[in-house]
Structure 1
Amino acid sequence: MVFEPTLTELIILLSAALTAGFVDSIAGGGGLITLPALLAVGIPPHLALGTNKLQASFGSCTAAIRYTGSGLVIRDQLVKAVIFTFIGALTGTVLIQIIPADSLKRVIPFILLAVFIYTLLSPDLGSIDRRARMKISMFYTLAGLTLGFYDGFFGPGTGSFWTIALVILMGYNLKSATANTKIVNFTSNIVSLILFIIGGNVLFIPGLIMATGQIAGAWMGSHLVIRQGTKFIRIFFLAVVALTIIKLFYQEFLG
């Protein structure tokens, strides 16, 4: 498909990507901003999904680089996470092309609602590092396969799921959990992107235009996380998860 955007459409896509990059680098959920924007300018769903992965990969890569340089990323613990996230995302992206995602889409809002309530009722959650509840190798194997698959298969809320899992099960504080989340997020994004490119489902011009917004937004958002305390991240996290829940419930049950 040849997509020839107008100036107004370019501004819409760039603005959406800038906002999404900022939001996603702090609490996840950026895809809920960019995907509707891509659809709104007339790009068919399958091409919108692939193009969304292209621009999102730039944002998650920028945030991952920024966080790695801050010292918040625990590198030796992420090797297994990256490997199993790669496998999970590969499987999920292949299956989404042959298996309907309707059932999964109806379950996710309820899972996110549980995450929101749990975080809301636990004011000290993620304020300090705590004792891990699972062995590192087991956690990253299970979380990598599960959340990698989910991101490749469907996507919304992946960053939020990673962050809360690292806080609850591995005892990370919210700042460290957010930083480590972007490494595995980038992994699943790039795997899905490669498969979408192979399938011919990526529009490079609008995707690269949005990538510039993603890079700027992700850089600003990750900079704020590094400078601010966990209280700021917690408030932002709750706000993004709440908006994600509302949007998904509306799309699946009211739209």
Structure 2
Amino acid sequence: MFEVSFEILLILLAAGFIAGFVDSIAGGGGLIALPAMLLAGVPPLTALATNKIQGLFGAATAAYSYAKGGHVDLRKQLRPACISFIASIAGALLVSQLPTDLIRWFLPLLLVGVALFFAFQRGLNDEDKERRMSPFVFSASMVPLIAAYDGLLGPGTGSFFMLAFVSLAGYGILKATAHTKLLNCASNAGALLAFAFVATPFWMTGLAMGVAQIFGARLGASLAQKIGARLIKPLLVFTTLAMAAKLLWDLI
């Protein structure tokens, strides 16, 4: 039934739970789930595609949890989510056309910059700040740009959405986290659709990990709503720096 052994499946379920927990708070769940699948012997392209399956469940659960808590109106996010879905497919289709190797070298530096912003920028809390970009312009520019990157490469997508919501939309940390999840869910779905044509995901394993993600995401979103920026900021900084370190390690 499952594409991996029972022992490996248990390890991947644990990785899915932890990934869902971390991703629901600060993003970066793929930093846990993807290496776990690679260490389990899943081929790289298959692991990337399977990661999108299980990531869908965590992002969707987190989006629902934050909406239930009153931190985001999912109906108002339907249009940006559709843009995110389409842009992610476009990004995946552009893999062979864009200099992805060059982007991989630049990406760790960009992630470190994001981490430093959240670590040292004063006044970052759960209070909304001045908006620098209207919702329409934000949806027409930042959403497709970041979602296309998710389809193209992927690591750090949640961090980039967070940075955009905080620095341009003027959202507080908790509100930015809540608004990131549905867009990230949509970009995962678009990337998965594109991957399905070029890879063979482990569907049953991905679905099982997705169930584990649901439980992890529910716990993470609940804690984030109770503690807010005091939990989200340090975890966001840590996961972003960890992603940068892993990407540099892979390049060396």
| 1:229 positional shift | 2.6
Q: Using a 3 Å threshold, how does the CA distance of structure 1 residues 231 and 136 change in structure 2: closer, same or farther?
A: same
Match of 2:186?
187
- 2:103: which partner in 1? 104
CA distance in 2, matches of 1:128, 1:91: 35
| TM-score of the pair, normalised by structure 1 | 0.92
Shift of 1:35: 1.0
Q: Retained in 1: the 8 A contact 2:119–2:233?
A: no
- TM-score, normalised on structure 2? 0.93
- Please tell me whether residue 131 in structure 1 is matched to residue 133 in structure 2: no
Q: Is the 8 A contact 2:89 2:193 kept in 1?
A: no
Q: Does 1:37 align with 2:50?
A: no
3-state SS in 2 of match to 1:218: helix
Give distance in 2, aligned partners of 1:243 and 1:81. Answer: 28
Is 1:228 the counterpart of 2:227? The answer is yes
Question: 1:100: Cα distance to partner?
Answer: 5.9
- The letter of the residue matching 2:133 is M
> Match of 2:66?
67
Query: What is the aligned partner in structure 1 of residue 89 from structure 2?
Result: 90
Matched residues in 1 for 2:164 and 2:113: separation?
Answer: 13
List runs of 5+ in structure 1 lacking aligned partners.
Answer: none
Query: What is the rounded CA distance, in whole Å, between the counterparts of 2:49 and 2:74 in structure 1?
Result: 29
Instruction: Tell me by how many angstroms 1:76 deviates.
Output: 5.9
Please identify runs of 4+ aligned residues in structure 1 that moved more than 4 A: 97-100
Change (3 A) 1:113 1:220: same
8 Å Cα contact 1:21-1:216 kept in structure 2? yes
Deviation at 1:123, TM superposition (A): 3.5
Work out whether residues 49 and 195 of structure 2, in 8 Å CA contact, stay in contact via their aligned partners in 1. Answer: yes
Contact 1:80 1:137 in 2 (8 A): no
The whole-number CA distance in structure 2 between the counterparts of 1:76 and 1:134 is 20
Give yes or no for contact 2:91–2:151 (8 Å, CA) kept in 1: yes
Q: Is the 8 A contact 1:31 1:56 kept in 2?
A: yes
- What are the superposed Cα offsets for residues 153-204 of structure 1, whole Å, 9 maximum, x if unpaired? 1111100110111011111000000000001001101111222234452111
- Which segment is superposed worse, 151-160 or 76-85? 76-85
- Report the Cα offset of residue 78 of structure 1: 2.4
Counterparts of 1:64 and 1:247, CA distance in 2: 27
In 2, distance between residues paired with 1:217 and 1:75?
21
With over 3 angstroms needed to count, the CA separation of the structure-2 counterparts of 1:53 and 1:75, relative to structure 1, is closer
Q: For the Cα contact (< 8 Å) 2:119–2:234, is it kept in 1?
A: no
Partner SS state of residue 28, structure 2: coil
Q: Distance in 2 between matches of 1:175 and 1:57?
A: 20
Match of residue 26 from structure 2: 27
Which amino acid is the alignment partner of residue 221 of structure 1? G
Q: Residue 48 of structure 1: CA displacement?
A: 1.0
Q: Distance in 1 between matches of 2:44 and 2:207?
A: 18
Q: Secondary structure at the match of 1:42?
A: coil
- Letter in structure 1 aligned against 2:226: R
Taking the aligned partners of 1:4 and 1:172, their CA distance within structure 2 comes to 42
After superposition, the CA RMSD in angstroms is 1.8
CA shift for structure 1 position 6: 2.2
Q: Please state how far the C-alpha of 1:97 moved relative to its aligned partner.
A: 5.7
Q: Is the 8 A contact 2:88 2:147 kept in 1?
A: yes
Tell me the amino acid that sits aligned with residue 93 of structure 1. A
